[in-house]
Chains A and B, each alone.
Chain A
Amino acid sequence: MIDIVLPRKKAANNKQNRRDEATKPHMQPYEGLPIDVSLQQALERIKGELGESADLIIRELAIGEANPIPAAVIYIQGLIDDLRMNDHILAPLQLAVLTPPSLHADQTVEELKKELIHVGNIENIAYWKEAYQSLLIGSVLLFVEGLGQVIAAGVIGGPKRDVTEPSTNLVIRGPREGFTESIRTNTSLIRRKIRSPKLWLEQLTLGEITQTPIGIMYIQGLADESIVQEVRTRLKAISIDGVLESGYIEELISDQKYTPFPTIHHNERPDVIAAGLLEGRVAILVDGTPFVLLVPAVLNVFFQAAEDYYQRYDIASFLRMLRFVSFLIALTLPSIYVAIIGYHQEMIPTPLLLKLAAQREGVPLPAFVEAFLMEVVFEVLREAVVRMPSAVGNTISIVGGLVIGQSVVEAGFVSPAVVIIVSLTAISSFVSPAYNLAIAARLLRFLLLIAAASLGFFGVALIVLFLILHLSSLKSFGIPYLKPFAPFFWQDLKDTFMRVPLWRMHERPQVLGHRNPVRESTDPDESQGRNKSR
């Protein structure tokens, strides 16, 4: 029977998916192949398929005393929890007394599941494809002679990083836990924040070779169903060899491919993701990375830090505005300097102008070249420090800060003003809570610099107009990127430049346009009144 199924399947594949076959050399030959009835055949096959890999453990045994049935336990060393397997799978199997030993396959399976395997997560598998998948996720497979099925018991184990404080998105006040590389840990961290049955998790596998588990998490009833559907569609459309980080997914499912601005939010903190879910967003979890994606993400989201909601609203609002200002500084300060020095000296008050002129005396380079070079040097330093071991990193910061910063000025190659401008820009760019937005500013800074050098403020204005147009054209899962500002929503402005007190945020942001606008109210009477009045 096997011999009949296999060629037919292959022939069909050849006809229909010739293109697929060409692009996928990794076409699995076991597609749709049922599990062998004979134990020996099955073992031979699995050994052959895995190339007798050293970490593939096959433990043959016999179940029952009177009339022992040959069986084999198969697992991959390191993917499973050895202790649990010994105690709950191997020991009961070996000690089992099957009375009477029923030879009918289905009954045996039921018997084994009911009595002998003391593990919660069990499934029957009839095909090799699923068997391989579950073996490689970390299941223990039990093959029994004459069954034609496999019992997979999930005892996922092996090395796993503990929940620790995330290294990005640090807070002074707020929960200290961060996501880990294990998707199951991550979903549990979110579930511990939102104990609602309406928190739904859909799982799928992406990556032709890596078979990475991907989770889609949302709160049913809050998340816009059309957005959830869009997430599903886009994820399912992905065809890629491997998904090693959520960045792969991010790049493949964003609306616009050619933009420096991120249209998908990512975060390492369960509380941020939970807050996003409560606003009706959709989280995408990828196994193997602590960075969870959150869609849709409008520009405003990238200025919100977790801590904004844990601190008093007044200081939070102040910090929020500070971030917007810092972003603008990081984006435009060098270009404004170049424009003023090159074209609009009249803007500088006379005493300051004299100082600047005195500094620039003897500097051989034009302001634009000065600023451009210093920006490049700074970017080089920054990149160097990121990759270096921390011990060397300190040396680089000394070399960069002291040697270059100071001596370049003393040597008279650049004016001190430029060093000040570049360092201010650098510090401002670190203020942004979202690293990926700060990178956008980093790139666009150079564009603005060139515009300022060639057309002064007119050039800066043109590039700013270009950016406004570009930002207006962006969308994140169908939501305009500038949503609370354009299209303008008065209601939603309360969580943009300002963070109004929580008791004033009765309503969920309309940015996502969901059908369930009222968030909560501290005063029940008031909320009822609101309901009536609507």
Chain B
Amino acid sequence: MTQNQQMMNGSITTGQMGKLHIMFTLGSAALILPTMVTVIAKQDSWITMIMAVGLNFMFLYAPLELAKRFPGQSLVSYTQQILGRAAGMVYTVLYLFFFLVLTAAVFRNMGDFVGTSVLPETPRWFIHIAFMLIVMYGVALGIEVMGRSSEILFVWVFLVFGAVFALLTNKMQVSNLLPVLADGWIPTIKGLYPITGFPLAEYVYVMMLFSCVRSEDLGKLKRAMWMSSVVIGISGLSIALLLLLVLGADLTLRSPFAVYDMAKEIQIGEVLERVEITVAMIWISTVFTKAMICFYVLCLTTAQLLRFSTYRPLILPLAFIIVPLSLVIYRNTAHTNLFAFAIWPVFGCVLGLLMPMLLLAAAVFRKQGTPSGKGMKDTQQPEQERGGTSSEANSEQRVTAPEQRNGSERKESMSTVQVEKS
């Protein structure tokens, strides 16, 4: 465990990192993004979603390469290594504000949704504060607990999502997809524009979280992130397709929270209807994970920048900034849309794509870090032998014996079993 990881209160496995990433991406995007894409690409938004998978890789490339060059180090420490102390500080401060705005925006998304769709009469500040209390609890518990809870939530999210998918099959109309590519490829490519800002540019958070991944797992990190990108791509595609098939492009682009409105369509006989609240609860749990990650990353960046030994004292003061900020960050829904369409993609792409790329280029140019990631090679091997998820939790044990010893001991146990039987 590096000193960095001690501060973060533990480390996570690549599987948990991947699941956190999926939850982060689906977080606010699943509910809001389809509308934004459909506005531009109309009934071809699903093609846009397929194209977005490629962009996923693009946005993750620089952070992954940097993580490989600087294993166990976070954004804060390697920027200072690459750019020098002062420039690195300035660079990090930019991200500090990015994460601050991001956290507030996530809170606002949640508040907008809950405030308009679920609890229209409850004051917003109360919703935000209630949400903040639980987020603070999660952040205080640290990354390890967040990683584990994301594994639980991940299963639930996909179970409910699968159930919604299955229950809506009777409402699907393939004709909604027609005509395909009526206006050529241009609208579908234009549809990528909001996606770059939200959620792709937000991927930059991984530059902080990759340093929490257990060092012996780092070799598998790239694979896990690619895998989760594929999962994200498939879920994005299926959400877009589902919306088009069930609601059609016209209804989708009019609804601010399209998935939620789609779930209202569920009707199986007279038994199962109006179950959209379960979708809302699931969405709350993903956006919760996202808010937790954003807030955690914000705390961590601040703490590392200020050279604190722990981030915990920052939780409360930052919460006092975020809750009011989230209440004033947008004036109204129109402002939200303007921000999401016009400002966030530009703002986000500079910080989320351009600057990490430049940082990587600087690292390559100034020959900083270990280019091939030599330090990881020896740790890579035992995982390949075991493979899969079992190795993750296995090595979480305090005691992990070498594989070779297992063989002989197992024989012993076999013989004792036989003796007991006879």
Residues on A close to B: CB < 8 A? 195-196, 198, 221-222, 224-226, 343-344, 346-347, 349, 351, 455-462, 464-466, 468-473, 478, 480, 482-483, 485-491, 510, 513, 515-520, 527, 531, 534
Contacts and interface: CB of A to CB of B under 8 A. Distances in A.
A351 B269 CA distance: 13
Nearest to B385: A534
Contacts of A527: 414
B152 A472 contact: yes
B122 A466 contact: no
Contacts, number: 156
List the 3 closest A-B pairs by CB distance, nearest first.
A513-B397, A487-B393, A486-B151
Contact of A468 (B114, B153, B414): B153
A183 to B, nearest CB: 25
B416 A465 contact: no
Contact of B409 (A347, A473, A482, A515): A515
B389 interface: yes
Interface residues of B, number: 60
A480 B122 contact: no
B149 A486 contact: yes
Interface string B382-399: 000000111011101111
Given A482-B148, A513-B394, A466 B274 contact: no
Interface stretch (B56-64, B235-243, B280-288, B347-355): B280-288
A485 B409 CA distance: 27
A485 B277 contact: no
B410 A518 contact: yes
A487 B119 contact: no
Given A469-B137, A487-B393, A488-B393, 13 more contacts: A221-B412, A349-B271, A351-B270, A455-B122, A458-B280, A465-B153, A468-B152, A472-B146, A473-B141, A510-B390, A510-B393, A516-B406, A518-B413
A458 B275 CA distance: 14
A289 B73 CA distance: 52
B114, B149, B271, B420: most-surrounded residue (chain A CB, <10 A): B149
Interface in B320-371: none
Contact of A472 (B131, B145, B275, B284): B145
Contacts of A468: 149, 152-153
B130 A489 contact: no
A461 B151 contact: no
11 contacts: A343-B119, A458-B118, A459-B130, A461-B280, A462-B130, A468-B149, A472-B149, A482-B148, A489-B390, A490-B390, A515-B409
Given A347-B277, A482-B152, A488-B15, A515 B401 contact: yes
A497 B387 CA distance: 24
Interface in B107-124: 114, 118-119, 122
Contact of A513 (B145, B270, B271, B400): B400
A479 to B, nearest CB: 8
Given A466-B137, A480-B148, A457 B407 contact: no
Contacts of A517: 406, 410
A225 B399 contact: yes
Nearest to A224: B399
Nearest to B135: A465
A458 B119 contact: yes
Given A346-B274, A347-B274, A347-B277, A520 B417 contact: yes
